[in-house]
Every structure is written in structure tokens, then in C-alpha cells.
Amino acid sequence: MNNTTYIDSNLWQKVITLCVLMLPCFNVWSQYPAQYMKKGDEAVAENDWHLAFSYYEQGYLLDTSSFDMAVKYADAARNIRNYELAERLYAHNYEKDNGKLQPDELFWLALMQKNNGKYEDAQRNFKKYLKKHKVNGNRELIKRTDQEIKSAIWALDYKQVSQGITVSHPEGQLNTVHAEIAPYIMGHDVVFTSSRETAGDELWKLYRYDEANALHEMQLAGLPHGAAVGNFREGIDGRCYFSVKERGSTRIYSAIRNGDQLSDLRPLEEANGEGVVNTMPFPALIGERFYLFFVSDREGGEGGMDIWYLKSQKPFVKDNVTPIQFEKAKNIGSRYNTPGDELTPSYHEQQFAFSSDWHAGFGGLDVFSVQVQDFLTDKPVNLGKPINSSAHDFYYVHEGNSAWLSSNRKGSVVADSNATCCHDLYLINYPETEAPPMDSIESNKVISLKNINNDLPVVLYFHNDEPVPDSWDTTTTFSYLDAYESYVNKIPTYLKENTRGLSGERREEAETITADFFELKVKKGIQDLNDFSEALLKELERGRSLNVSVRGFASPRAQTDYNLNLTKRRTASLVNFMKSDSAGIFLPYIEDRATNGARLTFTLLPFGEVKADKAVSDDITDIKNSIYSRSACLERKIEIESVEEIEASVKTILPRLETDSFSFGVIPKLGTVKRSLQIFNDGNKPMVIDSVLAECGCTDPKLDKSVVLPGESANIEISFTPFGYKGHVVKQLMLYIAGEEPKIITFEAEVEK
């Protein structure tokens, strides 16, 4: 038998026939992705991004090779706030296209990275986008990119986390898998806006959730069916304010509330306008005037959605039945409004709050606060973490010792795998602390020390096995400044090693990652250390004794016991920096001889190798991944974690004479002989010398200073004139030191006859 394989002729005929019959089926299936794309495009035209996402997702799963489908799928994921999926899709699309067909794909990738809290990656890709498209790119995106770079770097540098503040879901069934926004506290009840009964974001309704955990829909008479109502707020003028969306128009109305019934519906014509959005009203009494803040995209703003206000023409009078007459609507100004969106204004006890996606923040919309005097004048301040997150945080409203917020941060109630799809209501609880008296020294101490800790950790990075490589020593004479300068001098080596074998954009990417590490981590660390040192010195100069806690980390190239000693050397280099590279100003505090009694100590916290990144190689032959890679670089560090006040040491003076007796030897009977003698203060408290007295006029002691600081000395010049004496002479001086027994200094001489 030969090795040729034969196919039965009848079987072959059957296969051909089957294939011919299936050709129409293949043609039908090939149309499905195109049909899904068409349906998705129609949904986008109707601004229904959830439906569009569903169509694009189905089309993409059928044809993952379609670049057009992948682009639309990514955009839909972004618009339904599925940040993680959108980031993956944009990254895949950019890697495939390199921005040729979709030049803005890189911008959206960076924005999703920011929304996912990956600030270093985000700022790097924003910079790359700016470099590529600054000349010929979309001008609005270029302007926004420049701001997003600043914002991502701000978020990367941010350390302060407000202590004692908690953000959590409120008890009960307030939140659902749909959207809950615009919380408002009305007595013991919460009024809010939700899409829970409509399963969509277009038809919003108002609800009241009472203290008995019962939900009530608030009824508004006089509106056509299908109108969306939201953003309910009550004013001290007896009317409530809200926004209504119908037939594509969003306007502000007021009404009278009687329980859950809203009547006497009136459009607020001073705020409304044709063809523009007017929404999110918030009434407030500032001084004697009644204000109504609201949000609009009308002409005359800074761009996007801006915050505007109406101001009453006359001082507000409570229980006045005459409708309030407002001045012309005004923009709150470019200090607060930006080319981005400013939303959800609120006011409480001289604090004006709003959300913005342009001012430096952590993600999408962040909450900002402005101190109000007569009106808005101060700079807006980001409320920080945990109030803000990398998602959208808005509708902040303060009430008593708590506040409410709407956010789509992770942890919200969702129905699918999209962790950031839906906005929930969150309750913010502030710590219950009594406000300290303004002149309280102790309160100021607590505040200043808290401010120092809020700016921690300070992270300092090292080159591999530095300082003092190949050593088992636990200390070093090197300063961190020595290690820092040595490290930055190796930047060319790091660039060379990390780009070895790479070309084109991959090489450029590796160069950028390496440069970013040294700029955003290493150099930022020395800057933070200088700022920390300045703040620490101020507290020491105020007489506070402090302990600084430092933790060391190392990459896994060496065994644990070696790395433990290495981190001790690194901590020692920090102490040496404080001793020598800060002009010696910390030395008296470290050596416990400061004149004000303050001292500075350091504690080495347990070694932290357990946090080593899995990408860091422990293979000593893999030089790139175990030494030069960004992951390895991130592990070689020490962190200043905390500062706490400690007890000052007992202060004493310890006088020490160079000698308490000496001889002039043989001296002539005429003339004067002199001898200098030093007295040291070996204690940790300033020593005060009251006087030095001689037993006769033949001896003249002179002191160069009366106050001797810890670790310093004073000089006593002793002059002896032996006129009238001959032979062996013995004389004494009495040294009087405050708080000490007198010290006796004896000298002798042999006077020539």
C-alpha cells in the first residue's frame, strides 16, 4: 500500500454541495456587524449612548477586526462611564492605528487613565498627544490637554487625605442600579432626583425619602407628560426651585410645596432663555440679598456649562408676599468658570461649593469650595480625598456636621460589570470636634503638626544598592543628597538600558517613562524633602520635640537580611542630610543641645520588601528588569511616614573646665604673664556665668562671654602681675555659674628673686 490518501468521490461531491448551499448564510452573517453599527449610529444620533453601546458591543464581538467598530465601541464605553473598558479599547485602538486614522484616540486614552486614577500614565499620554498635535490638532482638545497635564500632575503630587472624614452609602434603600443625583436635606428627609422608574436618564422624577425609610414621589401639577424634573431646592422666600426638561429644552421653575404636592408653577424668566440649557438652581441668602445660582450654557460664559446668578434688586424681607425682583443674570466670573464645565452650585454658612471638570482635580468632576464674605472673592479649593475621587463627584450640599454628594465612584450600586456606570447618593460625615479658641497655643500646635502629616509621605529614591554597595553595614557617613546627586547623574545610563533594542515609538515611550520617573519621583522627592525640612524646623524652633518615622523598601535582588541593612543605611543617609546638608540647623536638635530644649529623633519602621512589584525581577543577571526598569526603581526608596510629638528631655548644664589648676612656671618679678583657659558646656541647656573673681588685685580674669550654649565654650583670660612677690606663689579664682556651686581655679608661679 502506498502513502497516498484518497477521498471518496461521493463524499467530496457532498462537501462541495454543502459549501455552495451555505454561501448565502455566510453573506447574511457578514451583514450583522454592519447592521449593528448602523443601529448604534442611530442611537448616538438620539443621544442614547446606552443603547448605542449595546449595538456596538454586539457588532464588535462578531467582528473584532473592524477598526471602525472598535472606535465607536470605545466612544460608547466612555460615554456610559465604563472607564476601565474604554481605557482598554482606546489603548488597543491606538496600538493598532498609532493615531493615523483617529488622531484624538490618544487624548481619550489619557482621559480614561485619569478617570481610573492612573495619573502618571495619563500625564505621559497627554504630553505625547500635545507633542504630536499641538500644531495641527483640534484647538479645543489642545487647550484642554494642556490643562489636563497640569491636573494629572497635581493629582499625582496630592498627598493630603482629610482625616476623620468618611464617605459612605446612606442607610436604607436610597440608591438603586439606576441614577440618583441632586440630594437635598429637608428637615429629617432627603429629597433627590432619580431615574429609577424610567430605566433611563431622560425622564427624571423627584422623590422624598423620609426618616421612616419610606419613599414618596413628589407630584408636580401643570407639566406635560414626559417632562423630566430634577434639582429640587427650597428657598427662604417660601418657594422651591427646580429644573424641568421637556422637548429638548431645560428651564428653571419655582413652585409652592404642600407636602409632596408642588403647585403654582412659574417659569423663572430672568434665568431662562431660548435655545440654551438652564438648570441646577440653588437659592441662597448672602448678606441682605437673595441670590439664585444656576447653571447655563448661554452666551457670555467662559465655555461649556457656567455658573450664573440672579441677585434680588432689594434687600430680602422674610414673609414678603411680593415676588422677588431680580437684577440681570450675571456670570460668577473667570476665577471660577472655565472652558470646561462648572456645575451644581450650593451655599452653606459662608461656603460656596461647586463642581468642575477643568480646575485641577482627580478625575472627571471634582467638588471645590470658596469662602464667601460679601460675595465670591477667594480662590476655589479642591475639597480633596475622600470627598473627591477619580470619577464624577458633584451635587455637594452641606448640612450641619455632614454633607451629601452624588458620585459614580467605584462602590456605587450597579447592575452589570461597569463599576462606574451609575451615580449614587453618598453621605459625608465630618469629625465632631469643637472649634478651638483662636488664641489657643495647643490647638495651633495640633493643627500645624496635622498639616505636616497631611503632606506625607515624602518618598526618596535610590540607585541599586546605594549608598555603600556590597556592604553589610547598617549605617553610613553619606548624606541622602550624595545618593540623590549620584542617582540623577546616572540618568543617561538608565535611558540607554531601558531603550536597548527598541526603536521608533517604543523607544520614545521607554525614554519618556524613564524621564518621567526621575522628574516626577526622584526630583520631586528632594523637593518634598526640602519642604518637609522647612516645616519641621518651624515646629522645632517653637520648642516642640518631634520624632520622625521612616520606612525603608528595597527591590528583591538581594536576600532579606541584606536588604534590611541596606534600608538602615538609607535611613541613616536621611539623618545625615538633616545634620549636614541643611546648613547644620538641625544638628542641635538631633544632638539634644538646642537652646529651646527641643529635640529631634528618628524611628526606623519595619522593612517593607513585601510590597515589591511582581514585575521586578530577582534574577541578578536580568539587569534591565532588576535594576533599570521603572518597576524596580519604584521599590528602592525610603518613606517619611509620620511625625509625632515626644517628651522633651530634662535640660541640664554640665560645666567642664579645661583644667582647674596650672602653673605659670618661673616668671620675672616685673611684667605680666597671661594664660587662657576654656570652660565647656557639655549639657543641653544654656550655661550662664555670673562672674569670675580673683582673691587679689594682682590677678585680672576676663571672660569673653557670659552665656555658653550647649556644646560650646567660653574663654577665660587670666593675667597675673607678681609685683611685690618673690619665690613660690599660689593664687585662686572663683568661677560663679548660675545654679551651680562655685568652681575654684588654682594657679601657681615661681617668681624670680
- Note if the bond before 437 is cis, omega within 30 degrees: no
pLDDT at 718: 95
CB atoms within 10 A of CB 501: 8
Q: How confident is the model over 425-451, as a mean pLDDT?
A: 68
What residues form DSSP beta bridges with 278? 296
Is this model's pTM higher than 0.85 or not? Answer: no
DSSP conformation class of 305 = S
CATH H-level, domain 166-429: superfamily: TolB, C-terminal domain (2.120.10.30)
Percent of the chain with pLDDT over 90: 65
Q: Residue 647 contacts by C-beta under 8 Å, 6 or more apart in sequence?
A: 545
pLDDT bracket for residue 248 (50, 70, 90): confident
pLDDT at 569: 92
Residue 362 near residue 386, CB atoms below 8 Å: no
* 107-131 pLDDT per residue, tens: 999 999 999 999 999 999 999 999 9
Q: Residue 2 contacts by C-beta under 8 Å, 6 or more apart in sequence?
A: none
Q: How confident is the model over 743-750, as a mean pLDDT?
A: 94
Which DSSP string do the residues of 441-476 spell out, in sequence order?
Answer: HHHHHHHHHHHHHHTPPEEEE--TT-SSSS---S--
Give first-to-last CA distance, the chain, whole Å: 143
Using alpha carbons, list the distances in angstroms from residue 174 to 196, 396, 405.
10, 16, 13
Task: Report the alpha-carbon distance of residue 516 to residue 518 in Å, rounded.
Answer: 5
Task: Report the alpha-carbon distance of residue 491 to residue 460 in Å, rounded.
Answer: 16
Q: How confident is the model over 288-313, as a mean pLDDT?
A: 95
Q: How confident is the model over 503-523, as a mean pLDDT?
A: 92
Task: Report the alpha-carbon distance of residue 513 to residue 494 in Å, rounded.
Answer: 11
pLDDT above 70 for 15: no
Q: What is the number of residues in the chain?
A: 753
3-state secondary structure of 239: coil
Instruction: Count the helices and strands in the chain (H runs, E runs).
Output: 16, 34
Task: Report the alpha-carbon distance of residue 714 to residue 638 in Å, rounded.
Answer: 41
Using alpha carbons, list the distances in angstroms from residue 545 to 120, 589, 646.
37, 8, 5
If one compares 343 and 226, the residue with the highest pLDDT of the two is 343
Calculate the CA dihedral of residues 539, 541, 547, 553 and round it to 10 degrees.
80
**What is the Cα 254 distance to its own chain's centre?**
40
Task: Report the alpha-carbon distance of residue 510 to residue 631 in Å, rounded.
Answer: 13
> Where do the domains of the chain lie?
28-157, 166-429, 441-645, 655-751
Q: Residue 582 contacts by C-beta under 8 Å, 6 or more apart in sequence?
A: 533, 537
Single out the residue of 122, 152, 128, 120 nearest to residue 630, CA to CA. Answer: 120
Task: Report the alpha-carbon distance of residue 151 to residue 135 in Å, rounded.
Answer: 22
Task: Report the alpha-carbon distance of residue 491 to residue 633 in Å, rounded.
Answer: 12
3-state secondary structure of 111: helix
Task: Report the alpha-carbon distance of residue 264 to residue 267 in Å, rounded.
Answer: 10
Residue 152 near residue 119, CB atoms below 8 Å: yes
Residue 287, phi then psi, degrees to nearest 5: 65, -125
Q: Which contacts qualify for 444-448: CB closer than 8 Å, 24 or more apart?
A: 445/542, 445/544, 445/645, 448/538, 448/539
Cell numbers linked to 657:
573646665
CATH of 655-751, one of 3.10.20.600, 3.30.565.10, 3.40.50.970, 2.60.40.10: 2.60.40.10
Residue 633 near residue 488, CB atoms below 8 Å: no
DSSP conformation class of 221 = T
- Among positive and negative, which fits the CA dihedral 139, 140, 146, 148? negative
* 369-403 pLDDT per residue, tens: 999 988 888 999 999 999 999 999 999 999 888 99
CATH topology of domain 28-157: 1.25.40
Task: Report the alpha-carbon distance of residue 94 to residue 103 in Å, rounded.
Answer: 9
pLDDT at 450: 83
- Average pLDDT over the chain reads 87
3-state secondary structure of 84: helix
Task: Report the alpha-carbon distance of residue 443 to residue 517 in Å, rounded.
Answer: 39
DSSP conformation class of 685 = S
* 161-205 pLDDT per residue, tens: 666 899 999 988 899 999 999 999 998 899 999 988 765 545 789
Q: Crossing angle of helices 9-45/67-79, nearest 10°?
A: 40
Single out the residue of 392, 51, 404, 395 nearest to residue 199, CA to CA. Answer: 51
3-state secondary structure of 21: helix
Residue 689 near residue 679, CB atoms below 8 Å: yes
CB atoms within 10 A of CB 320: 11
pLDDT at 14: 42
DSSP conformation class of 405 = E
pLDDT bracket for residue 23 (50, 70, 90): very low
Q: Crossing angle of helices 139-157/105-115, nearest 10°?
A: 30
Which DSSP string do the residues of 717-753 spell out, in sequence order?
Answer: EEEE--TT--EEEEEEEEEEETTS--EEEEEEEEE--
Single out the residue of 416, 417, 395 nearest to residue 404, CA to CA. Answer: 395
| Helical ranges in 577-650 per DSSP H | 587-590, 623, 630-635
Single out the residue of 94, 96, 116, 114 nearest to residue 105, CA to CA. Answer: 94
Q: How confident is the model over 579-607, as a mean pLDDT?
A: 86
pLDDT above 80 for 559: no
* 75-85 pLDDT per residue, tens: 999 999 999 99
Q: Crossing angle of helices 83-97/67-79, nearest 10°?
A: 150
